[in-house]
Amino acid sequence: MVHLGPKTPPSRKGLLNDIPKDLLDQIKHLEELFTVDTAQLKTITDHFVNELEKGLSKTGGSIPMIPAWVMTMPTGKEKGSYLALDMGGTNLRVCEVTLLGNRDFDITQCKYHMPPEMKTGSSEELWDYIADCLDSFLKQHHTVDDEVEAKKIHLGFTFSYPCSQTAINNGTLQRWTKGFDIDNVEGHDVQPMLAAALKKKSVPITVSALINDTTGTMVASNYTDPETQIGVIFGTGCNAAYFETVGNIPKLEGMVDLPPDTPMAINCEWGAFDNEHKILPRTSYDVQIDNDSPRPNQQAFEKMIAGLYLGEIFRLVMLDLHGEGHVFEDEDVSSLQEAYSIDAALLSLIEEDPFENLTELEDAFESRFGISTTEPERKLLRRLAELIGTRSARLSACGVAAICRKKDITKCHAGADGSVFNKYPHFQKRGAQALKEIFDWPDDLAVADYPIKVQPAEDGSGVGAALIAALTLKRISEGLPVGMKAEFV
């Protein structure tokens, strides 16, 4: 039996015994590449805090730190019905949310499949499709009796890409992220584009708020759990929002008529952390993903941790191991050649395989790729999935820790949503462990007592968007600003 050296952590399920030396060496090499130790977590967090500051400064930095014009948390007493539209990556979701005034709500929703070609199609196709979905939702679920009522349909539009906002109801797309690449949207305000499509199709909706999913998640989670101070998405992309005060946002100086202690939600767009590649331990696989992406040198952090990329990292490593003759000898690996053909769900399946000899993994490789695997190969693949998933969770924790450190938050909840957070096995536990290491919490502290907890969020792009629409309309009715001074809008 071959034993691992004392420094190599054992695999979560069963020891990596009975593995030929060559594969063990490969595992060791992968562990070196993908492991982020405590010291690195701390250094990355320190750098992250500085970058958050920089993003708020007049000169700016890589992290956009976008003022989102949400200037208050909900009281819980908000009432009324609002439409919410979520343009995620895979689906479009339309909801009608009724806020009941007691930290509770009712929701009716419909999901519309977004054809993958649309991600790289034309701008007109995109907005027309969205307008059609809204129209169909209204016809099915909402009776519009007359013109007056029609004008009262307010929409919170969750558009989760970096948009510069001069007010709550506009947003100029800085750049597409998450693999989108639609012409003629970057550099433009997306609100008038949607409004024009709605007008063209006579859909009687007013876009009252443009929202990032992280801001929506923070507000929605705070609505049901007032200890929530941060909203995070760990999904196809990765990002967070939190509250600053206007006086702490130098880049807004002179542009707003607001007292310095006014809260201001910040959509960090932290996926852009370390775009200058100074601190993150990138592997050659991360570099390749970046180079081959539609926007190289953007979203450095996101490309190492978000759901869109986890399967792709795994695929590139496998191809490399095969190319060097370590795995899948005599197997036809042509089915692994297509970029992005593996998604994070496969890694989840591998990590969750309950069988000691990893038969679920074996079946998945047979049926999906026509590749027969040996048991030692499967153990290596399992370890690889663990390493990629663990790196994602640990690096993500640096972002949460950085926000807390920047704001001197020692105790809070972060509301988290997204497919990776909700579905990837052990992601939450691994992230909590990383936070413990970063903050040096004592070993005997029970996880339930960790002072900073990242926990499942309330529905941000539905309930959050509706709440933000409600908060905005209230501010407008009270004559309070919802954006920059007129000359800057």
Residues with catalytic roles: 160, 175, 213
In whole angstroms, how close is the CB of 392 to ligand GLC at the nearest point?
14
In whole angstroms, how close is the CB of 157 to ligand GLC at the nearest point?
13
In whole angstroms, how close is the CB of 431 to ligand GLC at the nearest point?
16
Our CB check for ligand GLC shows the closer of 159 and 365 to be: 159
Contact in structure between 152 and 83 (CB atoms under 8 Å): no
Residues 6+ apart with CB under 8 A from 446: none
Our CB check for ligand GLC shows the closer of 286 and 362 to be: 286
Tokens read off for 159: 């558009």
In whole angstroms, how close is the CB of 305 to ligand GLC at the nearest point?
10
In whole angstroms, how close is the CB of 186 to ligand GLC at the nearest point?
12
In whole angstroms, how close is the CB of 216 to ligand GLC at the nearest point?
9
Our CB check for ligand GLC shows the closer of 233 and 463 to be: 233
Beta bridge mates, 450: none
Our CB check for ligand GLC shows the closer of 213 and 362 to be: 213
In whole angstroms, how close is the CB of 282 to ligand GLC at the nearest point?
18
CA distance 22 to 316: 19
Contact in structure between 199 and 131 (CB atoms under 8 Å): no
**310 residue type, one letter:** L
Our CB check for ligand GLC shows the closer of 78 and 269 to be: 269
In whole angstroms, how close is the CB of 29 to ligand GLC at the nearest point?
30
Q: Around Cβ 117, how many Cβ atoms within 10 Å?
A: 8
Closest residue to ligand GLC, judged by C-beta, is: 237
188-291-380 Cα angle (round to 5): 125
At residue 472, the 3 state secondary structure works out as helix
Q: Which pairs from 61-64 meet CB under 8 Å and 24+ separation?
A: 62/272, 62/273, 62/274, 62/275, 62/276, 63/268, 63/269, 63/270, 63/272, 63/273, 64/162, 64/164, 64/174, 64/267, 64/268, 64/269, 64/272
Residues 6+ apart with CB under 8 A from 321: 26, 327, 380
Our CB check for ligand GLC shows the closer of 235 and 431 to be: 235
Our CB check for ligand GLC shows the closer of 161 and 223 to be: 161
Tokens read off for 302: 């996101």
What residues make contact with ligand GLC under the rule CB under 6 A? Answer: 160-162, 177-178, 212-214, 233, 235, 237-239, 269, 271, 302
Nearest C-alpha neighbor of 408 from the set 454, 451, 455: 451
Q: Around Cβ 464, how many Cβ atoms within 10 Å?
A: 36
* Alpha-carbon Rg for the chain in angstroms: 23
Q: Around Cβ 329, how many Cβ atoms within 10 Å?
A: 9
Our CB check for ligand GLC shows the closer of 138 and 306 to be: 306
Residues 6+ apart with CB under 8 A from 217: 231, 232, 233, 241, 415, 416, 417, 457, 458, 460, 461, 464
Q: C-alpha 306: how far from its chain's center? A: 7
